[in-house]
A and B are shown apart, each in its own frame.
Chain A
């Protein structure tokens, strides 16, 4: 069945799709968005129930291969030391993200010029700065102005509480003379744009029942819907179709009843992120594009970047109330963010202070790593761990390498029979050296803060949250998939606005940069409407 033609068709209702939908809505064009998941009901989030902790390993697991919900598609990530995380719903991955929201640095867009590696972006921090500011306002970003690791900016909301745990780590960083700062966080710490303030429920990474965490379903989507955007849920796109003129014609998708539908559009915008986007393009084969849509460069699915992640856990002698408060957001250190070649690697990493675990996660993790014995020593060992742990995440900048790929699995399919993605990924030597440095220095600051027992582990397998680089932007059609404003070099009415357009990965959680890029592209589309396809 064919639906009435849309002016703009957006595929994916996550962080970038939501931002683009909102931005383009003021053009009064007919905008349709297709999302394979549904709307979340905050009343169902785990934090509303007594069994809130174990659900992070079942129906709210970060891996679609564990959740296996109807909206999920399987991902073959067996050929990667890092498993892929995502969430399929209105809001996408922001439903489960920690809302740790640091921006990329100016240097992140100039790695070739500054450090002689990878490639420069065709846009700069200065280009994105106004869009970062827009995004801070619309998402409701909490933070503290004056961070010397960043160009000046003013987070609109007060920082999330540090707690005793944050103060403890602050003293540790100070003892070493290292940078730290309350992190920019996409959490409403006071009422903002009709949303309630954070009540420190804790488990942000299984959805926020208060609506204080700025997932895209509670930020951009209400605004976009009020402005007239049509959002169709439980609609899974199989392929983007092309006409004889080489332009995208629209998509074929399966509706919530599994019935095949067709939606034509003047402009198609892909917002499925670094795994979903190349999967869709590679599934969209035609005589004009036998190797996948927009893939004449052969780069669709290549240069996958995942941010190798390390975790350092410190155990302290005194109670820290460390598991109360927004779980993944408190403070960061960018002492080792910018390049210093004397460290043995180029580029750098972010240290993200993460709160301690609840009682179940404390017990399970400690039992797994041998800290919590069976038998008579059990209770004493638990008492030494619970409420006395602090975690520190090491987020390493991952440089693009063509052999790290998203391809189509020859056998695996989703519930609609659409070929599933296959991940092939190896850590580079640079990433390994960076991760080792991060784990060692994470342990050092834990000791300085007073930790009496420290475990440093990496790369963490279940940490493939950041999916970047698989349809990168650039001015040269031989070395990039889209141009500097997200338009495909090969298909002039096809745009990509998600993490797959990232040229490099930076060393921080990418969501605010991803949304700033999406808003930037949307603005460029609006500025060029009269000659968009020239």
Chain B
């Protein structure tokens, strides 16, 4: 597996223009929160996640990024990454309106990567750890809530098979 620096430095995975467009799209999907508490998707190394966990998604992603670049040039005469944020949003919206599957895979992979990142979990107040071995505390619950159910009595149906039980 190539390192992240290697990927970015040589454009071995995405071309420079694809990479610039990629970062812009991530920022459209999950931007940083205005108060700075939540990082944006560009802060959690989505590309590395894709290469490690979803490599089969890369050909589709490259095609979608190329489509963005082509349409940006056709409609605005500029690279997608050089458009102002509102123009980028409008362009993506129009393409997704035409094809609801456009960038859907990237969006799902992005949130999959994002919501397991230490910084994100910490910001949400979730311990960044595997469930095992510590597990979690869950309250047993107030069984007095069952009193009305008990008072209403038996609801199972007699099948005439001799199964013993209180009268219905």
Seen from chain A, the residues whose Cβ lies within 8 Å of a Cβ on chain B are 45, 47-54, 105-107, 109-110, 113-114, 124-127, 129, 144, 146, 148-152, 158-159, 161-164, 166-167, 170-171, 173-174, 177, 179-182, 198-203, 209-210, 321, 324-325, 334-335, 337-339, 359-360, 362-364, 367-368, 372, 374-376, 378-379, 386
Q: Are A374 and B155 in contact (CB under 8 A)?
A: no
Chain A residue at smallest Cβ distance from B32? A379
Residues from 1 to 58 in B contacting A, C-beta threshold 8 Å: 28-31, 33-34, 38, 53
Q: Are A124 and B159 in contact (CB under 8 A)?
A: yes
Q: CA A146 – CA B129 in complex, angstroms?
A: 38
Q: Are A126 and B139 in contact (CB under 8 A)?
A: no
B59-67, B68-76, B141-149 - interface stretch:
B141-149
Query: How far apart are B72's CB and chain A's nearest CB, in angstroms?
Result: 18
Query: How far apart are A327's CB and chain B's nearest CB, in angstroms?
Result: 10
Pick the contact of A49: B126, B130, B137, B142 (CB < 8 A): B130
Q: Are A124 and B140 in contact (CB under 8 A)?
A: no
Q: Are B156 and A50 in contact (CB under 8 A)?
A: no
Given A177-B152, A200-B136, 12 further pairs, Cβ under 8 A: A47-B131, A49-B130, A110-B161, A148-B155, A162-B142, A179-B155, A181-B146, A201-B135, A337-B155, A368-B108, A374-B30, A375-B89
Contacts of A126 in B (CB 8 A): 161-163
Q: Are B138 and A200 in contact (CB under 8 A)?
A: yes
Chain B residue at smallest Cβ distance from A322? B138
Q: Assuming the A-B contacts A50-B128, A359-B121, are A149 and B158 also in contact, with contact meaning beta carbons closer than 8 angstroms in the complex?
A: no
Q: Are B124 and A386 in contact (CB under 8 A)?
A: yes
B134 contacts A by Cβ under 8 Å? yes
Chain B residue at smallest Cβ distance from A107? B157
Contacts of A129 in B (CB 8 A): 163
Q: Are A375 and B31 in contact (CB under 8 A)?
A: yes
Between B124, B131, B156, the greatest number of chain A beta carbons within 10 A of the residue's beta carbon is seen for B131
Q: Are B148 and A174 in contact (CB under 8 A)?
A: yes
Query: How far apart are B142's CB and chain A's nearest CB, in angstroms?
Result: 6
B79 contacts A by Cβ under 8 Å? no
Q: Are B152 and A363 in contact (CB under 8 A)?
A: no
Q: Can you report 28 residue pairs joining A to B where beta carbons are below 8 Å apart?
A: A50-B128, A50-B129, A54-B112, A54-B116, A107-B159, A110-B159, A110-B161, A114-B159, A148-B152, A161-B138, A163-B138, A164-B139, A167-B142, A167-B145, A177-B148, A177-B152, A179-B152, A182-B141, A199-B132, A199-B134, A200-B138, A202-B136, A325-B138, A363-B112, A375-B28, A375-B89, A378-B29, A379-B30
List the count of A-B residue pairs having beta carbons below 8 Å apart: 190
Q: CA A166 – CA B143 in complex, angstroms?
A: 10
B95 contacts A by Cβ under 8 Å? no
Pick the contact of A209: B34, B107, B133, B163 (CB < 8 A): B133
Query: How far apart are B154's CB and chain A's nearest CB, in angstroms?
Result: 5
Q: Are A148 and B132 in contact (CB under 8 A)?
A: no
Q: CA A203 – CA B153 in complex, angstroms?
A: 34
Q: CA A140 – CA B16 in complex, angstroms?
A: 58
Chain B 86-116: CB-based contact to A (< 8 A → 1; otherwise 0): 0001000000000000000001100110111
Q: Are A170 and B146 in contact (CB under 8 A)?
A: yes
Q: Assuming the A-B contacts A148-B154, A334-B155, A378-B31, are A201 and B131 also in contact, with contact meaning beta carbons closer than 8 angstroms in the complex?
A: yes
Closest 9 CB pairs of A and B: A199-B135, A162-B141, A124-B161, A106-B159, A363-B111, A201-B131, A161-B138, A359-B115, A325-B138
Q: Are B164 and A376 in contact (CB under 8 A)?
A: no
Between B121, B148, B164, the greatest number of chain A beta carbons within 10 A of the residue's beta carbon is seen for B148
Q: Are B149 and A181 in contact (CB under 8 A)?
A: yes
Q: Are B132 and A162 in contact (CB under 8 A)?
A: no
Interface residue count on the B side (C-beta < 8 Å): 56
Q: Are A376 and B31 in contact (CB under 8 A)?
A: yes
Q: CA A114 – CA B134 in complex, angstroms?
A: 49
Pick the contact of B157: A51, A114, A364 (CB < 8 A): A114
Q: Are A321 and B132 in contact (CB under 8 A)?
A: no
Chain B residue at smallest Cβ distance from A45? B132
Contacts of B38 in A (CB 8 A): 379
Pick the contact of B130: A48, A170, A368 (CB < 8 A): A48
Seen from chain B, the residues whose Cβ lies within 8 Å of a Cβ on chain A are 28-31, 33-34, 38, 53, 89, 107-108, 111-112, 114-116, 120-121, 124, 126, 128-143, 145-146, 148-150, 152-166
Q: CA A325 – CA B34 in complex, angstroms?
A: 33
Contacts of B158 in A (CB 8 A): 106
Query: How far apart are B157's CB and chain A's nearest CB, in angstroms?
Result: 4
Contacts of A181 in B (CB 8 A): 146, 149
Contacts of A372 in B (CB 8 A): 111
Contacts of A179 in B (CB 8 A): 149, 152, 155
Query: How far apart are A494's CB and chain B's nearest CB, in angstroms?
Result: 28
Q: CA A162 – CA B140 in complex, angstroms?
A: 5
Contacts of B111 in A (CB 8 A): 360, 363-364, 367, 372
Q: Are B128 and A110 in contact (CB under 8 A)?
A: no
Q: Are B136 and A149 in contact (CB under 8 A)?
A: no
Query: How far apart are A168's CB and chain B's nearest CB, in angstroms?
Result: 10
Contacts of B146 in A (CB 8 A): 144, 170, 180-181
Q: Are B164 and A152 in contact (CB under 8 A)?
A: yes
Contacts of A200 in B (CB 8 A): 135-138
Q: Are B115 and A109 in contact (CB under 8 A)?
A: no
Pick the contact of A363: B115, B137, B141, B155 (CB < 8 A): B115
Q: Are A367 and B107 in contact (CB under 8 A)?
A: yes
Q: Are B155 and A151 in contact (CB under 8 A)?
A: no
Q: CA A106 – CA B155 in complex, angstroms?
A: 12
Contacts of A45 in B (CB 8 A): 132
Q: CA A363 – CA B128 in complex, angstroms?
A: 17
Query: How far apart are A298's CB and chain B's nearest CB, in angstroms?
Result: 30
Q: CA A367 – CA B100 in complex, angstroms?
A: 12
Q: Are A52 and B130 in contact (CB under 8 A)?
A: yes
Q: Are B165 and A152 in contact (CB under 8 A)?
A: yes
Pick the contact of A360: B115, B134, B141, B153 (CB < 8 A): B115
Pick the contact of A146: B28, B135, B150 (CB < 8 A): B150
Contacts of A359 in B (CB 8 A): 115-116, 120-121, 124, 126
